[in-house]
Structure 1
Amino acid sequence: MKRYCLALDLKDDPGMIAEYEGYHRQIRPEIRKSIEDAGITVMDIYRTGNRLFMIMEVDDSFSFEEKEAMDAADPKVQEWENLMWKYQQPLPWAKPGEKWVLMDQIFGL
């Protein structure tokens, strides 16, 4: 099992942040299925201020490229991603078009 950690910012608006959290308390079943079908076994998102931190644990079948292709071909996932982008903004150092930025582990115990 592999673990990946990613970061993303939300727009710094308390009302919008509350709406975003509301969507994630009742995730759509088709979105949950797309996550699980990609080989993601654990996905946790934490927030401090407007910064989000995601932890993903994945099985051996997972690849970012395959997940991206699956998402691009799924209209429900595209609808979800477009809706979420209303609340999200890229990190200042993100590449053009990049949402969640993969983090580098700098310590482990």
Structure 2
Amino acid sequence: MSTKRYCLTCDLKDDEALIAEYKEYHKSVWPEIITSIKEAGIVDMQIYLSGNRMFMIMECDETFDPVKKAEMDANNPKVQEWEQLMWKYQQGLPWAKPGEKWIEMEKVFQL
């Protein structure tokens, strides 16, 4: 099985208490969210944090389609509830479009 890697970034609100709450939520992500991630063809997902800037790495199988994932999420009430909750903690990057959270990053180097 071949995989494709996606790297994305998003900011948290620069507030220590909110960042701590966000990290707590991610220690036990709702099972419906985990299911929706896996059903989309995402085989591994990791989020790293530095200050209030996050970096996400997704390893996806050949069935993953970002457009299809967005449609699945839009039609899943539990995912929409989670996303609304996460907006309490997240903020768009300065160059993000209105309502845009995670932005795919451009690879600029590989060893």
Report TM bin, short chain. Answer: over 0.9
- Once the two structures are superposed, what CA deviation does each residue of 1:31-67 show, in whole Å capped at 9, x if it has no partner? 0000000000010000000000000000000011000
Superposition deviation, residue 87 in structure 1: 0.3
Partner of 1:70: 72
- The CA distance in 2 between the partners of 1:32 and 1:56, in whole Å, is 13
* One-letter amino acid of the counterpart of residue 89, structure 2: Y
Partner of 2:23: 21
Matched, 1:50 2:37: no
SS of residue in 1 equivalent to 2:86: helix
Superposition deviation, residue 97 in structure 1: 2.0
Flag structure 1 segments of 5+ consecutive residues without an equivalent: none
* One-letter amino acid of the counterpart of residue 38, structure 1: A
Partner of 2:35: 33
Percent identity of equivalent pairs: 62
Superposition deviation, residue 95 in structure 1: 1.7
TM-score (norm 2): 0.97
Q: CA RMSD in A?
A: 0.5
Superposition deviation, residue 91 in structure 1: 0.3
- The CA distance in 1 between the partners of 2:33 and 2:59, in whole Å, is 17
* One-letter amino acid of the counterpart of residue 99, structure 1: K
4+ runs deviating over 4 angstroms = none
Aligned length: 109
* One-letter amino acid of the counterpart of residue 23, structure 2: E
Partner of 1:84: 86
**1:107 paired residue among 96, 106, 109:** 109
